[in-house]
Structure formats: structure tokens, C-alpha cells
Amino acid sequence: MSSLISADEISHEAELVWLEDVDQLDYVRQSLDRLPTRKGKPPYHRDGRMVGYAILGPEAKASRASGTFRRRVFWVLPHDRDSEPDGLYAKSAPAEAVDPRTLQPRVKGYKTERSEGGPPSRAMQELGIQLPL
């Protein structure tokens, strides 16, 4: 889903609120949810847990059709790497996952070697950088 999020869709973000220390998470899943407000903690109706969300600025307009706002929500599922380090995503990450250290308001974020659970690149090895960062 991260690749499906356009810069325009997140252009009114004012702040990202983290509910957990995301430095401890190799990746988070992100999605654009339709929510009734620009700010405040949104309801969460998935398995797993919400770890963060976006707050929109006052210039953000509600959808004419639904009256809702599209806001990013960040979450992890029970079978993600933080709960099952040797599980399904031990050496990969789900499609909608990004490294939380690459996220900022109005910035989509991206996957990194850390989020993918892979071995360090030759460049990282030459610089003496070891995972986790």
C-alpha cells in the first residue's frame, strides 16, 4: 500500500503521532484510512495494534461524498517480526511495510535493509554499519 500512497494524498499532514517507540520496530505497515476527523487518535479495527497515525492540518478538506478525511494509520499484525522474529517476515516485509525511521509528515517512507530483514549490503559492511541500526 505504501507504493499506492501518493504525495498528494498526504500533502496536508501536519504531524505523525507515535504510540510506541518505533525505534524498536524494523517496519510498520501503513495505510490510508477514511476517518471522521483531521486529528485525534482514530478508532482501530484490525488485528494487531496501531502504533501511530497522522494528524492533518486545517487546510485538509473532507471528501464531498463521505465527509471523511484520508489519514495514514501505522500498525503491526500479531505475526509481524516484532512479535515473531523467526516467523513469516524474518527475512522480508509485507508489501505495505516501511521503515518507520524513513517516515515524516508528507513523506511516504520506504523499505530499507533493516525493514526487509536482509543482510547488510557491502557498502554497509565497508562503513562498519551493523543491523539493527
SS (H, E, C) 86-125: CCCCCCCCCCCEECHHHCECCECCCCCHHHHCCCCCHHHH
pLDDT on residue 23: 87
Domain extent listing, the chain: 7-127
pLDDT on residue 112: 87
pLDDT tens digits for range 67-102: 999 999 999 999 999 999 899 998 889 999 999 999
Question: Cis link prior to 94 (omega < 30° from 0)?
Answer: no
pLDDT tens digits for range 4-19: 788 889 999 999 999 9
Mean pLDDT along residues 51-66: 96
pLDDT on residue 1: 42
Query: Which residue spans within 6-110 are E strands per DSSP?
Result: 13-18, 28-35, 49-56, 69-76, 97-98
> Could you tell me the three cell numbers for 94?
509485507
Question: In sequence order, which residues have a C-beta less than 8 Å from that of residue 123 and are 6 or more positions away?
Answer: none
How far are the Cα atoms of 21, 31, 64, 107, 109 from residue 3, in angstroms, in the given order?
24, 10, 25, 12, 9
